[in-house]
Structure 1
């Protein structure tokens, strides 16, 4: 998924703190640190509802290195590794 050029307000979901709430702008699976291939990671994220325009909120984070995170996207709560959340660009 591609989108507008990166603006100064765009951040990666994997860098956001608990309580963050925003909107998904695009996916960038090329530089995430995930063990999945970029294509596989993008497919999984889209299947879970991480699509452009969806509202997203970080509800909880793990005790060890703040990983994994519990994310509400649309009306679904999903556990996601921060390395995978790095592929989600939000505002």
Structure 2
């Protein structure tokens, strides 16, 4: 069996489904993202990327949330599905 591919949310492509494994954030931003559902084990779908790649819209817990590169580059997960 293949080992799951670990990627940062920033590197996800439209349609990718990612299971969060770690949040490398501190303080208020960490608390806010945890409250929004970005917790270890959560399933996140990449919904849309802006033309320049920042921000990126993600769906987590049936809510769509746009994150900037600063935040999405510090959240890692396992690629569950590549949208095919």
Fold agreement, TM-score > 0.5: yes
Residue 62 (structure 2) aligns with: 75
Aligned to 1:21: 17
Give the alignment's TM-score, normalised by structure 1: 0.73
Give, in whole Å, the separation in 1 of the partners of 2:29 and 2:8: 15
> Is 1:54 equivalent to 2:42 in the alignment?
yes
CA-to-aligned-CA distance 1:12-39 (integer Å, 9 cap, x gap): 111222221121112112xxxxxxxx32
Structure 1 residue 82 displacement after superposition: 2.1
Say how many residue pairs are matched: 76
More strand, by proportion: 2
Q: Unaligned stretches of 5+ in structure 1?
A: 1-6, 30-37
Q: How does the TM-score come out when normalised to structure 2?
A: 0.78
Q: Return structure 1 stretches of 4+ with deviation > 6 angstroms.
A: none
Over the aligned positions, Cα root-mean-square deviation in angstroms equals 1.7
Structure 2 counterpart SS, 1:25: strand
C-alpha deviation, 1:8, in angstroms: 7.6
